Structure 1
Amino acid sequence: MAGTTRLPILYPVMLVLTIVKVCVSENENTTEDFDAEYDTSSITVDYNLYEQQCQKTELRSFRSWFMPTMYSVICFVGLVGNLLVILTYIYFKRLKTMTDVYLLNLAAADTLFLLTLPFWAVSYTGEWVLGLWVCKATYGIYKVSFFSGMLLLMCISIDRYFAIARAASAHRYRSRAAHFSKVSSVVLWVLAILFSVPEMVHTKVSGNTCTPFLNESVELKIGIQVGQMVGGFALPMLVMLFCYIMIIRTLLQARNFEKNKAIRVIFAVVLVFLLFQLPYNAVMLVRTVTLANGGSQQCDADNRLFFAMDVTQSLAFLRCCLNPFLYAFIGVKFRNDLFKLLKELGCMSQESFFRYAACKQKRASLAMDTETTTTFSP
């Protein structure tokens, strides 16, 4: 009876022990099968399958000394030249022709642009610490002055085209030319502001960096850049090339012993524009196309593109230093007024001024003096 009562008690205990034994044995078999199938000792990880961050240490190091140095040189030389143009025009009230009005506006645009360079120079050496509104204002002024300068260069070439290639028709409207130049200058500044609105709106401070279109869609960025390149660069360049080609053709048909000098001046103007401005816009076009295709997949190619942008951008900025020499200082009357201003400011001695004036009288007996740079008089 006692043995019979123990058996029902032993059945559950034996059943539990059997289940535990089976589970343990299955677990051991499963572990052995897993180790056999996934032997981690023989696995080689292919890290090329993982996206790696493109290192830009060399680019940052290059920018930290190259950009501030170039910006400082451009700012100093450009401000001296353009401020001399502005002071000469204001002091002697030389706004008599369309070219005078356009040159004064061009000098003002270049001066505004040059005043933003110290902010960018400081940002390349460290971090942007001036806040969002200063960031937007700096980028906005930079773009407004850039586009207004391009449009003003286009208008100067148009004015020279009518003054030389269409001299008869230009003479009939001479009395209204100054008024038209002032109205057109206001229109050009308004267009430049409209071109610059996207940068003002979409410029942000992120990661202590002042950057436009940082988190915007690729389609928006590409559309704005293409529109700006067409309206702010391609169109002015084509108009300038057309005007200067027609001017050269007119000069070649003229019987003037000064035409060779005039042609050389035109070639210098066009050559400087193409050498200093075209590379930057070509690099920007490559960057836009790369962005439209999904961006660069190679870190070295991406870094080379940024290096090219920095160098060509500095060349484009350097053109602001050359504008006074190419467009203002080349005029005989303007140079006379400039030397008078330097003498009155004490920057030029009386002897040097009279020596220059005597030299000018000798040259005036050989060539007719001009009122503006329209005829490219040296």
Structure 2
Amino acid sequence: KKGRAVFCPMIRENDTESEENTTASTYDSIDWPSIDYDDIPTLCTKDHNRQFRRWFMPLFYSFICFLGFTGNLLVILTVFYFKRLRTMTDVFLLNLSFADLLFALSLPFWVANSTVKWVLGLALCKAVHTIYKVSFYSSMFLLSLISIDRYFAIAKAVSAHRHRSEVVFISKVSSAVIWVMAVVFSIPEMVYTDITNNTCSPFSSSFDKTRISIQTSQIVLAFVIPLLVMSICYSSILKTLWQSRTFERNKAIKVILAVVIVFLLSQLPYNLVLFWTTIVIAQGGTDDCSYDNALLYATDVTQCVAFLRCCLNPFLYAFIGVKFRYDLLKLLKDWGCMTQECFFKFTNGRRRSSWTTETETSTTVYP
């Protein structure tokens, strides 16, 4: 067989070095355009905020959920066990406990939403967020109604006594109107709630105009208006109590101051952060990543402080009342949770009739 000749050129080392030098000189001689990397947007990472939420949210939300569920459930059981729906305050306190109980029951879902991916579907996402918002608005409105009720019972005691037979019916109608209003004000967020990036959120975009209007309405309806109503009513009550000379005056003043201080300490920080966040969103957001993360940290912390109200309301508005405290202790005794000796120790051996007489004639015990 004849073989085919193959041409294989000889490459010398000097030729290779000459070719590399020529390529390098040609590359260096090209006038490459300069790139300004400062104009290229960088991704703002929020890993530290996610890690903070993984331990902060479950810890505080579980604490709030346990206290809120226990306290409000005791209020509801006490009201139905002793059939205590004889005054406007009793009706409002019962509805407030139901609202705070619903609010507390929604917190475990928000723990799961902030720590892991949302896997419960869109329908449950909308349902949980709606329950949360309805209970939130109804609680704020009911706190306003309680202050109005106390204003008429104390500052306008004469006119309130004339309509004593109608107050229970009026309170039930008012409570129904409050729940309807809470549902209506929660509709926008219920409509816009969606699953975005495996998270149940009411806003699909951080810079949506809808988010600005919803957050603004929430600040006005659920903080500014209740704060104005409570300030006007409780300031008038304090003025009336200061002019009276009853032995319960100082105690009633302390109760009212405690109610106002707790409301301000729990709600004011969160609403200030929410207000500032709304302004930042309206201006198109911020390019400072550390500033954006600081707002997220502030929102998470102040929101948990604001959520404390659902477990503090039973102690401020129900258990601090003499009649209610006695009924609660008697309920625990009847159900075997307290011995007879402990019951007489905490009640000083006094019967409910004497407690009723003491508090029915004086409306200053309730906040």
TM-score by length of 1: 0.86
The aligned residue for residue 151 of structure 2 is 161
The aligned residue for residue 314 of structure 2 is 324
Q: Which amino acid aligns with 1:240?
A: M
Q: Is contact 1:328–1:373 with CA below 8 Å preserved after alignment?
A: no
- Point out the more displaced range, 286-295 or 46-55: 46-55
1:374 deviates by: 4.3
Identify the match of residue 265 of structure 2 among 275, 293, 297. Answer: 275
* Aligned positions of 1:30-69 closer than 5 A: 36=29, 38-39=31-32, 43=34, 45-69=35-59
The alpha-carbon distance between structure 1 residues 181 and 372, as it changes in their structure 2 partners (threshold 3 A), is: farther
1:213 deviates by: 1.8
Question: Could you tell me how far apart the structure 2 residues matched to 1:126 and 1:377 are?
Answer: 43
Give me the CA root mean square deviation: 2.3
Q: Is contact 2:207–2:284 with CA below 8 Å preserved after alignment?
A: no
The aligned residue for residue 107 of structure 2 is 117
Q: Which amino acid aligns with 2:275?
A: L
Structure 1: segments with no counterpart, 5+ residues: 1-31
Identify the match of residue 104 of structure 1 among 89, 94, 100. Answer: 94
Q: Is contact 1:331–1:373 with CA below 8 Å preserved after alignment?
A: no
The aligned residue for residue 260 of structure 1 is 250
Find out whether 1:369 has 2:361 as its counterpart: no
The aligned residue for residue 14 of structure 1 is none
The aligned residue for residue 289 of structure 2 is 299
Aligned residue pairs, count? 343
Q: Is contact 1:127–1:208 with CA below 8 Å preserved after alignment?
A: yes
The aligned residue for residue 190 of structure 2 is 200
The aligned residue for residue 22 of structure 2 is none
Q: Is contact 2:206–2:281 with CA below 8 Å preserved after alignment?
A: no
Deviating above 3 A after TM superposition, structure 1's stretches of 4 or more consecutive aligned residues are 32-37, 371-374
* DSSP 3-state at the match of 1:93: coil
The alpha-carbon distance between structure 1 residues 248 and 74, as it changes in their structure 2 partners (threshold 3 A), is: same
Question: Could you tell me how far apart the structure 2 residues matched to 1:284 and 1:265 are?
Answer: 29
Bigger radius of gyration, 1 or 2? 1
Q: Render the CA deviation track for 1:304-349: whole Å, top value 9, x for unaligned.
A: 0010000000001111111000000011111111111101111111
1:296 deviates by: 1.5
Question: Could you tell me how far apart the structure 2 residues matched to 1:153 and 1:274 are?
Answer: 13
Find out whether 1:79 has 2:65 as its counterpart: no
* Aligned positions of 1:146-157 closer than 5 A: 146-157=136-147
The alpha-carbon distance between structure 1 residues 345 and 140, as it changes in their structure 2 partners (threshold 3 A), is: same
Question: Could you tell me how far apart the structure 2 residues matched to 1:69 and 1:274 are?
Answer: 23
The aligned residue for residue 312 of structure 1 is 302
Question: Could you tell me how far apart the structure 2 residues matched to 1:227 and 1:376 are?
Answer: 34
1:228 deviates by: 2.2
The alpha-carbon distance between structure 1 residues 149 and 372, as it changes in their structure 2 partners (threshold 3 A), is: farther
The aligned residue for residue 173 of structure 2 is 183
Q: Is contact 1:63–1:124 with CA below 8 Å preserved after alignment?
A: yes
Q: Is contact 1:165–1:247 with CA below 8 Å preserved after alignment?
A: yes
1:359 deviates by: 5.0
Identify the match of residue 137 of structure 1 among 127, 140, 143. Answer: 127
Q: Which amino acid aligns with 1:107?
A: S
TM-score by length of 2: 0.88
Question: Could you tell me how far apart the structure 2 residues matched to 1:322 and 1:373 are?
Answer: 24
Q: Render the CA deviation track for 1:182-219: whole Å, top value 9, x for unaligned.
A: 00000000000011101110000121100112148732
Q: Is contact 1:99–1:374 with CA below 8 Å preserved after alignment?
A: no
Question: Could you tell me how far apart the structure 1 residues matched to 2:285 and 2:89 are?
Answer: 44
> What is the percent sequence identity of the aligned residues?
57
Question: Could you tell me how far apart the structure 1 residues matched to 2:107 and 2:130 are?
Answer: 13
Question: Could you tell me how far apart the structure 1 residues matched to 2:274 and 2:91 are?
Answer: 31
Question: Could you tell me how far apart the structure 1 residues matched to 2:211 and 2:306 are?
Answer: 22
Q: Is contact 2:99–2:135 with CA below 8 Å preserved after alignment?
A: yes
Q: Is contact 1:327–1:373 with CA below 8 Å preserved after alignment?
A: no
